[in-house]
Amino acid sequence: MTQTASVDALSHAHRLLDKLPLVDGHNDLPFVIRRDRDAKGDVRRYDLTRVHQNTDTDIPRLKEGRLSAQIWAAYIPSTTKQPARAVLELIDTIHQLCDAHPDIFMRALTPADIGKAKRQGKIASFLAIEGGVGLENSLAPLRVWHAAGARLMTLCHNETLDWVDSATDQPRHQGLTAFGRAVVAELNRLGMMVDLAHVSPDVMRQVLDISKAPVVFSHSNARALADHPRNVPDDVLDRVPGNGGIVMVTFVPDFINRNSYEWMLPFKDEYGKTRADVDMTKALAERERQHGRRPRSTLAQLVDHIDYIVKRIGIDHVGIGSDYFGGQTPDGLEDVSRFPHLIAELVRRGYTDSAIAKIASRNFVRVFRNVEKIGNELRKTQAPRVGRIEDFDRA
């Protein structure tokens, strides 16, 4: 492709993004602010108005990236002490984004807020809970989180919990326990999106069996192209259209490029999680000395995943979920300013404007509206589910 054609594709992408909203399904900036040694969760002290060269997300680059809506993750590691308190602190950090920068971020609760933010030139800021460890095995926090603005919940993170198996940990439940099924049912009743990004394939299948509402894979790719346990197997992909859900492709290098993941395998346990007993700084340097640099992942390879998902299950079931978190990123998608370049690659591959609009936001908006509608209907006939894990999962 000529340089002129490449420039034309990027110009076309910018014109598209002048008109249509762009939604990103997952960003861990709140955790980056929380772990920052100076800010410690204080958004104003972190100062998003300047470019943070060592991470990937700040206001100058968000503006350049043309985002209209961002799902911010209230993420904590599964081993966090007092996890319920930690989740509330992350929720507060997400609210601080809008309080500190009301000219940039708009607190968002409904699908309609995406278009509203676009018209106002702001970024609709949605709250997601990443990992159910903060429930501390009780259903009640679900309703508190929803009241605080949460509209999506990733059931677990990299570790298996007492009620749900993770994709990157030893399975203990053959999927979901009875309490886990109650969590899914209550999320449906509340109108909160059920996110399967980190769960085991058995959990994916079981949730697709029981969920009354469309599901979301907020930051996952196609396992057929990169055999990482966090990616979605073909048999699960094939069930997504019947559920009405969406797979939001993610920028994590190991989830994009099979060779990148395989290069890292000596440092991972049998479930694909990085081993805690390895000094990664020394180990990576030694592996590079012996085997050459780790293979890079690229924007083009990421779009290969979009191509694969579209061909397998259709254009109506794919979106974008970057998972920017201040870590390694693919070539061409180094930070949040690069979203237009992803849209430009879709242009170069022949996607129509209407197809790009679906990937950019319309598919997500459809899923969100359906989840909200189903929740409204369920609340007319279902009472809140109350109880702790021992009330559902008896020894």
Q: What is the 3-state secondary structure (H, E, C) of 367-390?
A: HHHHHHHHHHHHHHHCCCCCCEHH
Residue 101 is a catalytic residue: no
Residue 331 is a catalytic residue: no
State the burial class of residue 313 (Cβ atoms within 10 Å of its Cβ: 0-12, 13-18, 19+): buried
Report pLDDT for 395.
56
Task: Please pick, among 52, 101, 198, 317, the residue that the annotation labels catalytic.
Answer: 198
Residue 317 is a catalytic residue: no
For the chain, what is the mean pLDDT?
Answer: 96
Report pLDDT for 249.
98
Q: Which residues contact 288 (CB under 8 A, 6 or more apart)?
A: 294
Comparing 29-38, 194-203, 243-252, 288-297, the range with the smallest average pLDDT is 288-297
Report pLDDT for 3.
56
Residue 219 is a catalytic residue: yes
Mean pLDDT of 113-124: 98
Q: What stretches of the chain show up as alpha helix (H) in DSSP? A: 3-19, 29-35, 43-46, 59-65, 83-100, 112-120, 140-147, 178-190, 201-210, 234-237, 240-243, 253-256, 258-263, 280-291, 299-313, 339-348, 353-357, 363-381, 389-392
Residue 26 is a catalytic residue: yes
Report pLDDT for 1.
55
Nearest residue to 260 (alpha-carbon basis) of 290, 221, 224, 296: 296
Task: Please pick, among 12, 24, 26, 56, the residue that the annotation labels catalytic.
Answer: 26
Structural contact between residues 262 and 291, judged by C-beta atoms closer than 8 angstroms: no
Superfamily of chain region 3-254+300-386: Metal-dependent hydrolases (3.20.20.140)
CA distance 386 to 143: 10
Q: Does the structure show a pLDDT above 60 at 43?
A: yes
Q: Does the structure show a pLDDT above 80 at 165?
A: yes
C-alpha of 253 from chain center = 14
Task: Please pick, among 12, 173, 219, 305, the residue that the annotation labels catalytic.
Answer: 219
Instruction: Look at residue 292 and give its three-state secondary structure.
Output: coil
Task: Please pick, among 95, 157, 228, 317, the residue that the annotation labels catalytic.
Answer: 157
Mean pLDDT of 80-102: 98
First-to-last C-alpha distance (Å) of the chain: 63
Nearest residue to 248 (alpha-carbon basis) of 221, 211, 215: 221
Report pLDDT for 289.
87
> pLDDT tens digit string along 210-260?
999 999 999 999 999 999 999 999 999 999 999 999 999 999 999 999 998
CA distance 181 to 392: 9
Report pLDDT for 283.
84
Mean pLDDT of 191-202: 98
Q: Where are the domains of the chain?
A: 3-254+300-386, 258-295
Report pLDDT for 303.
98
Kindly indicate the confidence band of residue 2, based on its pLDDT and cuts at 50, 70 and 90.
low
Task: Please pick, among 159, 323, 345, 372, the residue that the annotation labels catalytic.
Answer: 323
339 φψ region: left (φ > 0), alpha (ψ -120 to 50), beta (else)? alpha
> pLDDT tens digit string along 167-179?
999 999 999 999 9
CA separation, residue 9 to residues 1, 62, 283, 357, 385 (Å): 11, 20, 41, 15, 50
Instruction: Look at residue 347 and give its three-state secondary structure.
Output: helix
Quote the percentage of the chain above a pLDDT of 90. 88
